[in-house]
Amino acid sequence: MLIDGIIRMLYRELIFRGIPLMDEARRKTMRHTNHDSACTDGAGASSTILKISSANAALWRGRPEEQTITECYIPSLGGEVFKKRRIHMRRLLLIVMALGVALALTACKDSDGKKTAGKVVTISGPFTDNDAVKFEESLKAFEEETGIDIQYEGSKEFEASISIRIEGGDPPDIVDFPQPGLLENFVQKGYVIDLNTVLDMEAVKANYIQSWLDMATMKAPEGEIMAGIWGRVNGKSLVWYNKKAFDAAGYSVPQTWDELIALQNEILADGDTPWAIGIESGAATGWAATDWIEEMMLRTTSLENYDKWVAGELKFDSPEVRRAIDVLDSIWFADGMVYGGRKSISTTSFGDAPKVMFETPPKAWLHKQGNFITTFFPENLVAGVDYDFFYLPSVDPSLGRPVLVGGDIYAMFNDRPEVREVMQFFATGASIEGWVKAGGAISPHKDSSLDWYTNVVDQKVAEVIQNATSVRFDGSDLMPGAVGAGSFWKEMTAYVSDSKSLDESLMAIDDSWPR
């Protein structure tokens, strides 16, 4: 608008006030008459000029008193005769200067506003199939607004393929890690950019609770760095139940650990089995048991001890870990507490375990698992009607409301303005809003809204995470692979199936830790 206005002013000066189109030596001195007139040159020859009436002169100039044509001249091209009022050169000069300044400012503005337009940012991650579609759809509005072209590549062999690329010196700009432990391997080798040095960290810190920031802080060769930004997450500290049967039986949702123990004892007294538990998962058998132990660690000891345990600084054969396992034992191994008894736990598939809750009458009433487990429920069940969940309370009330989570963390491997802009975007709820509305994603961002969730279960899970006083990632996913996806799974399975003692299993896990 500024430029348009200046151009119109300049046009009015050039056309209606007139600009000499020939030098002074070639100009014909013209005699003039007032108002409508013709001009003659010094030899008396007349020539036709464009006549300007007094009214038109007043209209164009905007000053009625200036109605006299003061000078006529003949242009050097085409023989066309122009008339000209005396030009206020100072005003014209100011207009030209203003135009130049405005053009310069506009150029600067365009340069700043579009400096990333047309740039490409590459991202690699584990999202494939429907998840990949939802992820890419959630980025479209940002791409349209900024002009940045985000090119995503998903792989079902993500862990192997990304290691080859990074170690080979050809990393994507951004990598989405579903396992922070894998990211930490690259942080320790110095491959990952410290976000403290490239992002507006005040904005980042304002949009996450401290626990998310703690989990993104990792040790690099130069010291601790902010290694990533959290994106999609899921909650694990959830206890599922058959809502229709639960309500019909007159049971109440527990708010504390003591109330949970009272509930399971009430179910047992009614002649039923409280818990449905299974940890069989093929080559990954045992991971569900490790989740339970991680939950108990968060509910019986400090976050500092949990972090030390995950880092190998607190042994499995320690009072803190033993206490957590004792709490698990009191539920899993007590007579009549688990459907099928202790020995069935290690042979029952984790996906089949909750199905007995939906038989008529239920063969078990409670099942602890992450929000993904609903995909294993019988078909045609309605969330909030046929089934529901409650938060797994803390054993020690002084530890607040800890939540065990899984999720994705974005790390930056190439530093360019457009990559920074995408990473800053990932630190906002807007980056995941589309995915949340489509279902299957939970946002950890403070600026996200519960109104985005179209699924009642997703909304409640999001509320649990938002209300958490602390969150910690799945411990086995943070441990070295030989432990977290090896001895921890294997030895807990051996202990649960009663083929090894607790002492033997804990010692074996500690011995397997890389030194």
Neighbours of 38 (CB within 10 A): 15
Query: Do the beta carbons of residue 135 and residue 184 sit within 8 Å?
Result: no
Strands (E), 196-317: 217-220, 223-226, 229-235, 238-242
CA distance 233 to 436: 11
Task: Provide the 8-state DSSP code for 286.
Answer: T
CA distance 206 to 210: 9
- Out of 3.40.710.10, 3.40.50.1170, 3.40.190.10, 1.20.1300.10, which CATH number does the structure's domain 238-403+482-512 have? 3.40.190.10
Residue that has been written with the tokens 């490790």 in this structure? 290
List, as one string, the DSSP characters of 358-380.
Answer: GSSS-S--BEE--GGGGGGSPTT
Query: Which pairing describes strands 229-235 and 217-220: parallel, antiparallel, or unpaired?
Result: unpaired
What are the sequence ranges of the domains in the chain? 2-106, 120-235+406-430, 238-403+482-512
150 phi, psi to nearest 5 deg: -90, 120
Cα angle, residue 479 at apex, residues 399 and 404 outer, rounded to 5°: 35
| Packed helices 287-300 and 488-496: angle between N→C axes, nearest 10 degrees | 90
Query: Do the beta carbons of residue 230 and residue 208 sit within 8 Å?
Result: yes
* Torsion over CA: 423, 428, 431, 436 (sign): positive
Cα angle, residue 460 at apex, residues 457 and 461 outer, rounded to 5°: 85
Task: Provide the 8-state DSSP code for 467.
Answer: T
CA distance 409 to 216: 8
Residue that has been written with the tokens 């294997």 in this structure? 490
CA distance 154 to 143: 19
Q: How many residues does the chain have?
A: 515
H helices of 346-478, where? 417-426, 433-438, 456-466, 475-478
- 424's CB contacts (< 8 A; 6+ apart) are 199, 200, 203, 204
Query: What integer pLDDT is reported at residue 114 of this predicted model?
Result: 60
Query: What integer pLDDT is reported at residue 62 of this predicted model?
Result: 38
Domain 120-235+406-430, CATH: 3.40.190.10
pTM: 0.73
- Segment 146-161, tens digit of pLDDT: 999 999 999 888 888 9
Partners of 338 in the β-ladder: 275
Characterize 210-224 residue by residue with b for buried, 16 or more Cβ atoms within 10 angstroms of its Cβ, and e for exposed.
ebbeebbebebeeee
Query: Do the beta carbons of residue 394 and residue 259 sit within 8 Å?
Result: no
Neighbours of 184 (CB within 10 A): 21
Of the chain, the end-to-end C-alpha distance in Å amounts to 68
CA distance 428 to 303: 26
Please identify every stretch of the chain with a pLDDT value under 50, giving residue numbers as ranges: 1-4, 6-90, 92-94, 96-113
